A and B are shown apart, each in its own frame.
Chain A
């Protein structure tokens, strides 16, 4: 079985600091593998251990994304592919999915593609589904559990209040939720040996796509403005009385402002 895992390197927002204007200080911010993508890697590695699989991790981004790919290799992935080219820059979800999809084709396809549900820096949750669309694969999204049978994949799909069990034929694309598993910490011996592995690098010329579809040029999305929302200041009011009385007062207050 061949599994391809698509990952993204993102800033570690748990380490985020803000300047006096409330803007994100990006300088010196450490980078991590997007948390949902770590769940996707773990899911692939579990299948590798249970059923035997070759796991290839791919990522699009600047050369420093190699750091994230090395970490994925240290977790136990077999191969890593870096898609890097200045012309990939500024890609939105569609152009990113197009680029990753071409890379999957170039690698000769696979039985399963795993992606994180969404990236913590953009939260669009679109790249995985758009890769599936581009490659014309069944999409099994928001997976909290994955089972692979004879030519089929079954997931527990998180739909908020309900969980749906769905099955699709392979090859297929699965997007992975954080509830799916606990990503492993790399083993120390693999941390050392991952630097002995070669990372395959692909640029725009290697993918044989339409030039107009890559990067900013190929992105239908237009970014108009980035801003930090103003924080509304509000007065704090303590509602006195027994729990029952204060609850009643709270309900009345909320009704006054049509909140309930």
Chain B
């Protein structure tokens, strides 16, 4: 077992860090002013070839493994920027289309997601379900060479940006069959699609999360991803990888919270000494560091399972979330506490890190559904 990072891993981290230091402050400044992403955001990522990282080279990507991708995710997570969401989404949706799509679908949709001209979305959640395919109410009815989609999707990120989303619908042509969820690659600017305003979220400042309304929206049959009625496994595979990226970014946030606390503990003088050297505070730093370190090691192990295509990776990614998210949320809470009243102020980064960390427990699958996945796997595996 080798815990050392390779020269490639180290250069990936160094490059990601340099990108974050140069580009993220400008992006965040725009988002603070406009409450939305810069229109050229994906072009910025594309210019640095950070899109299509896990897309095979033959489809225009870099062909990187997931381990290197999560090293980037951790660096981006340290900045507490919301623009990590579009970065993750374009990468993961392009990879998903490559995995499940026909040559025609791949050629049509993957290059724009890699060159930054299109924004990706993933849309399963509806007003009354976030994880149960039987409860879907977005319907898809065949009509000639098309399907007609009607219904509503909820909490969809980057939905109102031009590009492509994978939308999951109840396929009315599969009525009576055991599985009736079909995944469609949808051009989000298709006539009949409208959007709500942005949700005001607790964290992820400036995110464009909104509802998507379908009214007689025509989607070509050729845009079906995978097989009809077999859409749910596409979601499960995607979200297993998304959980790892989300955890890596959250761990990055935890590391940043720790770093901020170390800095504050050295700077703030109490009774003639730096505050951090008081036992109560040094113990807090010790607890924070061990939580971050344990989470990071578990994340690295999990992503190795993903890269080695080990059976059971999906359950392992749920276990990762079950462990990591409460750990890092606690680290961020401790960081706020460490800063005292300043930690509750928007002047200090830990306030934002704390709010961001809370998203990981409920977005891209809740902690509770992950406990169910992990627990049921333990009971049923032989």
Contacts and interface: CB of A to CB of B under 8 A. Distances in A.
Interface string A169-194: 00000000000000001111111101
Contacts of A71: 11, 14
Interface in A181-209: 185-192, 194-195
A89 B22 CA distance: 36
Q: Which applies to chain A's interface (DSSP): helix, strand, loop or mixed?
A: helix
B178 interface: no
A67 interface: yes
Interface stretch (B46-54, B194-202, B208-216): B46-54
Interface residues of A, number: 15
A188 B53 contact: yes
Interface in A138-196: 185-192, 194-195
B64 interface: yes
Nearest to B53: A188
Contacts of B53: 188
A77 interface: no
Nearest to A75: B15
B5 interface: no
A189 B12 CA distance: 10
Contacts of A188: 12, 15, 48-50, 53, 62, 64, 72
B281 interface: no
B35 to A, nearest CB: 28
Contacts of B7: 66-67, 70, 195
Contact of A195 (B8, B15, B18, B50): B8
A190 B354 CA distance: 35
A185 B48 contact: yes
Contact of A74 (B11, B19, B50): B11
Contacts of B11: 67, 70-71, 74, 186, 191, 194
Given A74-B15, A185-B18, A185-B22, A192 B8 contact: yes
Nearest to A73: B11
B373 to A, nearest CB: 32
A191 B12 contact: yes
Nearest to B72: A188
A189 B19 contact: no
A185 B8 CA distance: 15
Contacts of B10: 67
Interface string B66-78: 0010001000000
Interface in B28-52: 47-50
B173 to A, nearest CB: 42
A260 to B, nearest CB: 36
A195 B11 CA distance: 10
Contacts of B62: 188-189, 192
A70 B22 CA distance: 21
A190 B50 CA distance: 11
A73 to B, nearest CB: 10
Given A70-B11, A192-B62, A187 B49 contact: yes
Contacts of B49: 187-190
A32 to B, nearest CB: 9
Instruction: Give the one of A67, A187, A188, A190 with max B CB within 10 A.
Output: A188
Given A70-B7, A192-B8, A195-B7, A187 B64 contact: no
Nearest to B63: A192
Nearest to A186: B15
A9 B64 CA distance: 27
Contacts of A66: 7
Contacts of A191: 8, 11-12, 15
Nearest to A66: B7
Nearest to B10: A67
A67 B18 CA distance: 16
Interface string A198-234: 0000000000000000000000000000000000000
A88 to B, nearest CB: 22
Contacts of A192: 8, 62-64, 68
Nearest to B62: A189
Top 6 A-B pairs, shortest CB-CB distance? A189-B49, A188-B49, A187-B49, A185-B18, A189-B62, A186-B15
Given A70-B7, A191-B11, 6 more contacts: A66-B7, A70-B11, A74-B15, A188-B15, A188-B48, A188-B49
15 contacts: A67-B7, A74-B15, A185-B15, A185-B22, A185-B48, A186-B11, A188-B15, A188-B48, A188-B49, A188-B50, A190-B49, A191-B12, A192-B62, A192-B63, A194-B11
